[in-house]
Structure 1
Amino acid sequence: MQLQKEQELPIDIHTNKLLDWLISRRVCKQEWQENILTVREKINNAIQDMPAVEEITQLLAGTYINYFHCLQIIELLKETESDSKNIFGRYSSQRMKDWQEVVKLYEKDNVFLAEAAQLLIRNVNYEVPSLKKQIAKCQQTQEECNRKEEEYAKNAIQLKEKFYETCKQLGIEGVNIRKELVSLLNDLPDIFSRVTERMMDLNSAREYYVEFLNFTLKRDDIKQICVPLIGHLIEKGNTTTYEWRTGTVPEVVEGSQPKVPLDMDNGQSSCVPDDQIDFGSDGIDFGDDQSSSTLNGDFVHVDKIDFDDGEQAISLDDGGEINWDISVETSGISDLAEVSESVTDKGGGDSVRVARGSDALTLLDNPETRSLFLNELMELKGFLSQRIVEMKTEGDVLLSSQFQEAPATVQLQTADEVQKMLDMVTDILTQMTNVRMKHLCLISDSPKYVDRLTESLRQKLEQSEKMELSKQAVMERRKTILEDQRQLEPKLDLIIKKTKILQKQIEDTISKQYKNRPVNIMGGISVM
C-alpha cells in the first residue's frame, strides 16, 4: 500500500533544473554533449537522401530534428520503404538503416533525453522570450510611428496655415511671393493719402492737448513743441521733408527713393529694367519754366542708396505674430541727405530751392519722420487716455479748484468727447501700425527686407513639405514594422506549440523510467 502511494506521488522538476536533475540521478551522463555530435552528423547525412513525401518534408522544414522527430520519420519510412522489407522483417533500404542507427545512438545512455531537456530550456528561457520581445518592440514602434505621423501631419497643417495667415495679413495670394510683395508698394500712396485726409479729424484733439499744456506749463512756445509734426500734417498735409525742416516749399525735388529689383521668374533680385519698380529719379519742378531751364545739366547725381540693414532675419512667431525687431540703417540716405541747398544757375539768376536725398521724401515716406509721427500719435493717445481716467476720478471738472482758471476749451470738455478724440487717434495709429502696414514700410525702406520676407515665407512652405515627406516616411516604416510583426507572430505560435509537445514528450519519457509516476515540469512553456 505504501509502495502504491509512492508510485502515485508526482515528480516535480523545474525547467531550469531539468538537465541537472537528469544528470544527478544518472539518467543521462555528464559527457552527453560529446556523444550528441556523432548523432547530429548522422542526422545531417541521413537528411540528404529522403523520399519526396509531403509529411516528411513538413517535418524537416525549418525545425531542429530531435529524437522524437526521428521516431516519426521511421514510422513514415515504414510506408515508403515497405518494398525493401525482406523475409525476416528487416528493411534493406539504406534510408531506413540510417535513421534506425540515429535512433540507436540517441537511446544510448539517454542522450536524446539530455538533448531534449536542453532544447526545452533554451526555448523557454531564450527563444520564446526573444520572439515576444521582438513583437512587443514592433508594437511599440508602431505606436511611436502613429504618434509621429499625427505630429508631422499637425505640424504640416500648422505651418501651411501660418503661411496663408501671413499672406492674408500682407494681402497677397502667395503664388509668386516676391512679385506680390513688391507690388504692394503701389498701395502706399493711397494709404498715406487716406491717413493725411484723416489728420483733420485730429485737429480738435491736438488743440485740446496744446491748450492743456499751455495752461499747466505756462509756456509761450507750447504750440511749436507740442506734437509739431501732427500740426504740420493737419495744416499742410504730407509735404516733403524739406518743407517740414525748412518751412519753405522746394522748387525742385530730386528723386532719391531706391529701386526694388524684381525677377519675375525666380523671385530673386536682378537688374532687369523692365521688372523694376521705379520710384522716380527725375527732378520734380515746382517752380516756373525759367527755373527749370536754368538748372539744366546742374542737378547733383544721386547714386543708388544701400539700405543695408544688417543680417537680422524675419522671425514669424508660433502665435502668428511677426517680430518687428529689425533695424533699417539709413546711412545711405544720411550720406545723400546733404542739407538741401540753393542752386544758382550758370547765368547768375536767382537761387532755386532743391530737395534731395531724404529731404525729397514725403513725411510719411521718410522712415525718420514717419517714426516721429508714430511717436507723436502715441504721445497724444497717452495724454487723452490719462485725461479720461482723471475726469472719471475728479467728477465735475468745473468744480475742481485746479481748473477754475483753465480756458473754456479745457474746462468744457467731457469724458465722452475726449473718448471720441482718443478713438480717432487710435484709429489712425492702427492704420499706421497694423501688420500689413509695417511690412509695406519695411519693404519700401529696405529692398533686402523683401528677400528676407520672401525667404521666410518660402521656408514655411518648405517646412510644411518636409513634414509631409516625414509623415510618408513614418507611414512606410510603420507598414514595414507591421509586416515584420505579422511574420513573427506565426513563428512564436509555432515554437510555443512545438515546445509544449516537447515538454509533454519529456514528461512521458521520464515517467516510463520511474514506473509511470506522474511527472510535472514546472515553470515551463505552460506558464508563459
Structure 2
Amino acid sequence: MSYRADVMDSAALLPIDIQSNKLTDWLVSRRICDRHWLRDAAEVRRRIAQLAASDSLGQEGVSAELQAALRQPQIHYWHCDRIAEALKKLDSANKSFLFGYSSAVIRELDAIITRRGSCYVADASRLLTKLVQEEAPLLKRQSERTRRRQAECERRKGELAASGAEARAKFAALCRQFGLASAADSDSSGGQQLPLARVRAELIAQAEALPNWFDGACMEAVRGLADALRLYAEFLRQTGGAPESPLCPTLGYLLASGNTTQYEFALGRPPARVEPFRMALPAEFDCPAAGDAAGDGDSTAGDDSGGIDFGDDIDFSAVDEAAGIDFSGIEIADSEDQLGAATADAGEGLEGDGVARGEQARSVLDTLDLRERLLDDLHELDAFYSRLGQELADHSNCVSQAVLSASSAVGEIAAAEPGSRARALIGQLTEPSRQHLMLTRSSPAYLSRLLQRFSSLRDQADKAAAASKLLEQRRRESEDEERDLEQQLAALRAQIKELKKLIESEISQRCDNRRVNIMGEVNAV
C-alpha cells in the first residue's frame, strides 16, 4: 500500500501538458465539461447580449466603462465575474439579508456566471483557440502587408525620382541646346515648376532674332567665300570646264547684292517700301500643357482626388519614349518641303505696287527654298575643293598633275583652304536647333509641336513629383496602420497570456492542483 501511495504521490507531482488546438476535446474527454457545453454557452452568450442591450444598465447608473466591458465581443466568464464584483462593491449598501442585492443587473450576472456544467471553461478554451489560430495570424498578416506596402512605396518612389530627374535633365539639356535662359531655372526648380511659358517666349524671341544672325554672322561667313567662288570659277575657266550658266547662283547673288528681300530677288529691283515680316504665332493654349500661361509654371499634374495603388496607375511610357532629344517626333524634311513649296508659290504673286509685304518682305536667307539652294551651292564648293585636295595629294596621277599644273590658281587654292569655310557655314545653317528655329518662323503649327516636346518633359517631371508625394502619403499611412496593428497585436498577446493562465488555473483546481501547461501555438503568438 505504501508503494502505491508513493506512486500516486509521484504522479500528482507530474504536470499536465495539453496541446492548445486540442484543449476543448481534452476537457470533454476528461469529463471536466459536459458534452453539450456549446448549447449552454450559446444560451449564456444570448443572455449576456440581452443584458448589454437592455436599458437597465443606464437606469441603474452602471458606468460607461463597465457597459463597454459587457458589450465587448470576446467576453468570457472571468470578465463577467469582474464586472459583477465591481457592481457589487458599488451596490453593497443596497444588499438585503434575505433577498441579496437589489440590482437586477447584479442578479442577472450572478445567474450568468454560474458554474453549472463547466461550460465556461470549454467556452474560454474555444475563445483561446480562436484568438491563437485566427485573430493573431490575421493581425500578423495585416502587419506584414503594411510593411510590404511601405517597401513597395519606397521602391516606386526611387523609380519616380529617377524618372523625374531624367525628365528634368532632358528638359534642361533641351533648353541648353536652344540656348534658352530657362535651362538654369529648370536645373534649380527641382522639377516642381519648370517655366514652360518662359520657354515659349524665349523660343519666339530667338526665332524673331534669326534675321539679325542672317544679316550679321551668316553674311560675314558668306562674304568669306568670295575668294573660294572666284578661285572655283577661275580654275574651271583655265581648265576649260566653265559652264554657260552662272556658278553657284544663290551664293553669287548674296555676294553681289547681299541678303535682300524676296521681292528684290525675284524682280531684280528693290521695293519702294518694305512692311516688316511678322511671325504667325500659335494660340496660347495650342500646347497641351500650356495651362501655366501666367508664366509661373504652376502645375496640377497628378492632382487626382482618387487613391493610388503604389503609383501603378501612372503611365510612365512617355518618359521612356523621350529617351533622346533628337526631335524624332518632328519631321523636318516634310515641313521643309511644304514650306518651300509655299515660298515658291508666294514668289509668283508679287505685288505690283512696289511694296514688299508678307513673304515678299522676308530675306533670301530667311526663305527656306532659297536657303536650300544656298546649301546646294555650298555643298558644290565643298565637293570641288575636297576632290581638288585629293588630286593635289595624288602625285601618282600624272594626267591630273598635268591638268592642275596648267592652272595658275592652284597655289592660291592650296593656301586658302576654302573647303573648310564652306563646311563651317554648312554646319551653322544645318545646326539642329537653328533649323527648328528657322521652321518656327514659317509655321505656327511647327512651333506648337516644338513646344510639345518641352511640355511632355515638363509634364513627366511634374507627374513624377506628384506621384511621389502621393506615395509618400501612402507610406506614412501604412506606417500609422502598422503601429496600430502592432498595438492591437500586443494587446491580443496580453489577452491570450491572461486567458491561458486563467484556464490553466481552473483546470489545475479540478485536477488536484496539479500543474497544467497549455502548449503548442499559444506559446508562439
Q: Same fold (TM over 0.5)?
A: yes
Q: Which amino acid aligns with 1:64?
A: Q
3-state SS of 1:520 partner: strand
For 2:82, the equivalent position in structure 1 comes to 72
Query: Does the 8 Å contact 2:343/2:368 carry over to 1?
Result: no
For 2:134, the equivalent position in structure 1 comes to 126
For 2:44, the equivalent position in structure 1 comes to 39
RMSD: 4.6
1:19 aligns with 2:20: no
- 1:174-219 CA-to-partner distances (Å, cap 9, x unmatched) read 545555443334322221122122124345666787899999xx88
3-state SS of 2:348 partner: coil
For 1:109, the equivalent position in structure 2 comes to 117
1:350-369, aligned counterparts within 5 Å? 362-369=363-370
Query: Structure 2: which 5+ runs fail to align?
Result: 1-5, 183-194, 288-319
Between the aligned partners of 1:263 and 1:447, the Cα distance in structure 2 is 5
1:152 CA displacement: 4.5
1:153 CA displacement: 5.2
Between the aligned partners of 1:383 and 1:36, the Cα distance in structure 2 is 108
1:497 CA displacement: 0.9
2:104 aligns with one of 94, 97, 100: 94
- Taking a change above 3 Å as real, the CA distance of residues 254 and 178 of structure 1, as seen in their structure-2 partners, is farther
Between the aligned partners of 2:139 and 2:101, the Cα distance in structure 1 is 42
Between the aligned partners of 1:493 and 1:212, the Cα distance in structure 2 is 99
For 2:224, the equivalent position in structure 1 comes to 201
Q: Which amino acid aligns with 1:111?
A: C
For 1:249, the equivalent position in structure 2 comes to 268
- Taking a change above 3 Å as real, the CA distance of residues 375 and 57 of structure 1, as seen in their structure-2 partners, is farther
1:28 aligns with one of 25, 29, 33: 33
1:378 CA displacement: 5.3
3-state SS of 1:322 partner: coil
1:18-417, aligned counterparts within 5 Å? 18-47=23-52, 49=57, 52=62, 56=66, 59-60=69-70, 62=72, 64-87=74-97, 91=101, 93-104=103-114, 107-152=115-160, 155-156=163-164, 158-160=166-168, 162-168=170-176, 169=178, 171=180, 173=182, 175=197, 178-193=200-215, 194-203=217-226, 220-221=241-242, 229-230=250-251, 232-234=253-255, 237-238=258-259, 249-250=268-269, 259-262=278-281, 266=284, 317-323=322-328, 324-326=330-332, 327-328=334-335, 329-330=338-339, 331-338=341-348, 362-375=363-376, 377=378, 397-398=394-395, 401=398, 403-408=400-405
3-state SS of 1:445 partner: coil
Query: Does the 8 Å contact 2:264/2:270 carry over to 1?
Result: no
Between the aligned partners of 1:117 and 1:449, the Cα distance in structure 2 is 79
**Which shows bigger deviation, 132-141 or 226-235?**
226-235
Between the aligned partners of 1:267 and 1:92, the Cα distance in structure 2 is 82
Q: Which has the higher contact order (CA 8 A, sep 6+)?
A: 2
- Taking a change above 3 Å as real, the CA distance of residues 5 and 202 of structure 1, as seen in their structure-2 partners, is farther
**Which shows bigger deviation, 192-201 or 1-10?**
1-10
Between the aligned partners of 1:493 and 1:377, the Cα distance in structure 2 is 84
- Taking a change above 3 Å as real, the CA distance of residues 229 and 517 of structure 1, as seen in their structure-2 partners, is farther
State the identity as a percent: 28
For 1:296, the equivalent position in structure 2 comes to none
Between the aligned partners of 1:495 and 1:203, the Cα distance in structure 2 is 95
Query: Does the 8 Å contact 1:14/1:521 carry over to 2?
Result: yes
**Which shows bigger deviation, 472-481 or 402-411?**
402-411
1:446 CA displacement: 1.2
1:151 CA displacement: 4.7
Query: Does the 8 Å contact 2:276/2:357 carry over to 1?
Result: no
Between the aligned partners of 2:272 and 2:26, the Cα distance in structure 1 is 110
3-state SS of 1:404 partner: helix
1:384 CA displacement: 6.5
For 1:274, the equivalent position in structure 2 comes to none
Between the aligned partners of 2:345 and 2:506, the Cα distance in structure 1 is 105
- 1:410-468 CA-to-partner distances (Å, cap 9, x unmatched) read 976999x69x6555344323322334412221112212223333455445445544444
Normalising by structure 2, we get a TM-score of 0.70
Q: Which amino acid aligns with 1:136?
A: E
Between the aligned partners of 1:23 and 1:385, the Cα distance in structure 2 is 107
Between the aligned partners of 1:27 and 1:210, the Cα distance in structure 2 is 123
Query: Does the 8 Å contact 2:20/2:520 carry over to 1?
Result: yes
**Which shows bigger deviation, 462-471 or 428-437?**
462-471
Q: Which amino acid aligns with 1:452?
A: R
